[in-house]
Amino acid sequence: MLHRVVFAAALALASAPALAGDVIIDFLDVGQGDGVLIRGAGKAVLIDAGIRDAAVYKQLRTLGVDQLDLLIATHPHADHIGGMTDVVQNIPVKMYMDSGQPHTTETYKRLAAAVTEKGIHRMRATAGMNLKLGDEAVLHVLSPGASYIKNTRSDLNSNSVVVWLEHGEIDALFTGDAEAPTESALLRAGVEEMDLLKVAHHGSDHSSTHGFLSRVSPEIAVISCGEGNRYGHPDVETLDRLAGLGALVFRTDLSGQIRAISNGTELDVLEGDITMFAAAPITQIATDVPLMTAAPVTPAPAPAEPVTPVQTPVEAPTTTPADDTEADEAPSWLSGVRPSAPVEEPSGRGKKKKGKKGKKRGEP
């Protein structure tokens, strides 16, 4: 797979409208946290919303998002859901998905109350769910499984919602704060090579094991972390492993917002301030395309391990680690839904993947 990287100065490309068949992935600049916006087929999916001070709902408005078809909270830590209540209260959300694991913090309780108050359909992510965005792309849920991973360093992290975006020949993996036990389960479930990887847990040493990175073998790796963060993210060993695989690494602490554009066979990567992307309209396709339709899910046998193997669609008490704690404080189209329990509260060329990718569009 060939791709190009474009600096913020390349406004001509940044402001050009994406095509109707493209999928746009924006890694938002949220400081020490996560926030990923995926758009395609006229639909919008947000994975995490950073800390509250990142004001993700304002970033979404700047990018022209006036509605979210799906909001995913990978796990209930404040650096991932801190800004989510404001998103729910300021932008219409059709569906909300999380890992199903509650938390004791006020941040989590406020979010749960807001989702309930707005009457948003809520579902528990389970491996094997396939969410189809129009006819162009599929989001596959890989984790958590039907049963949770337990007795880990952080059960909340280890049971993060992990999703694989499949768009033609382009594959991207979004890992939340998945840790080594999650990666081991994904390996047992047969996780495949990915073109783009959202590196887990801000590049910490609790994730990105050698075995997992070798299997996934990303050509592009994106790390979401805050400049000068007190945790030392990303860890030097994580960076060394990625470099050893030949991956091009992009970091929000160094680049600001990062955008990846897929047309199903090729991938462009741009980086810069959010204002650079605000003028980049995304061409909408016909409005009669279903909101989101489920690709068929083939029942899988009960897993010996926590993660259920994902099938390819026929159609195209929880511990909280110190570094993640807060300072204070089904719809019919989707099979296998488990409703959550009521809540009480720049420029270069990458390696070409062998025999898989076509020629890069507009290759300079």
Task: Specify the pLDDT at position 246.
Answer: 95
Task: Specify the pLDDT at position 133.
Answer: 84
Q: Is 212 left (phi over 0), alpha (psi -120 to 50) or beta?
A: alpha
Q: Where are the alpha helices (DSSP H) in 119-245?
A: 155-158, 180-188, 210-216, 236-244
Average of pLDDT values for 208-230? 94
Highest mean pLDDT: which of 42-46, 329-333, 348-352? 42-46
Task: Specify the pLDDT at position 18.
Answer: 55
Give the mean pLDDT of the chain.
78
Task: Specify the pLDDT at position 5.
Answer: 52
* Rg for the chain, CA atoms, rounded: 19
Which band of pLDDT confidence, cut at 50, 70 and 90, is reported for residue 136? confident
Q: Which residues neighbour 237 within 8 Å (Cβ) at sequence distance 6 or greater?
A: 205
Query: How far apart are alpha carbons 305 and 58 in whole angstroms?
Result: 40
Domains of the chain, by residue range, sit at 3-296
Q: Where are the alpha helices (DSSP H) in the chain?
A: 11-15, 56-62, 78-81, 84-90, 106-117, 155-158, 180-188, 210-216, 236-244, 252-255, 274-278
Which range has the worst mean pLDDT, 165-169, 180-184, 198-202? 198-202
Task: Give percent above pLDDT 70 in the chain.
Answer: 71
Which band of pLDDT confidence, cut at 50, 70 and 90, is reported for residue 346? very low
Which band of pLDDT confidence, cut at 50, 70 and 90, is reported for residue 180? very high
Output the CA torsion sign for 155, 156, 159, 165.
negative
pTM > 0.85: no
Task: Specify the pLDDT at position 272.
Answer: 79
The neighbouring-strand residues paired with 103 are: none
- Pull the structure tokens for residue 347: 């420029």
pLDDT digits (tens, 9 = 90+) for 75-101: 999 999 999 999 999 999 999 999 999
Place of tokens 């938390």: 103
Query: How far apart are alpha carbons 326 and 77 in whole angstroms?
Result: 8
Query: How far apart are alpha carbons 68 and 49 in whole angstroms?
Result: 12
Helix (H) or strand (E) holding 75: none
Q: Is the pLDDT of residue 208 over 80?
A: yes
By the 10 Å C-beta count (0-12 exposed, 13-18 middle, 19+ buried), 93 is classed as buried
pLDDT digits (tens, 9 = 90+) for 238-271: 999 999 999 999 999 999 999 999 999 999 999 8
Q: Is the pLDDT of residue 52 over 90?
A: yes
Q: Is the pLDDT of residue 102 over 80?
A: yes
Pairing of strands 220-223, 36-40: unpaired
CATH number of 3-296: 3.60.15.10
Q: Is the pLDDT of residue 348 over 80?
A: no
Residue 171 per-residue DSSP state:
E
Which range has the worst mean pLDDT, 139-148, 178-187, 257-266, 312-321? 312-321
- Whether residue 319 contacts residue 150, with contact meaning beta carbons closer than 8 Å, is answered with no
Task: Specify the pLDDT at position 355.
Answer: 32
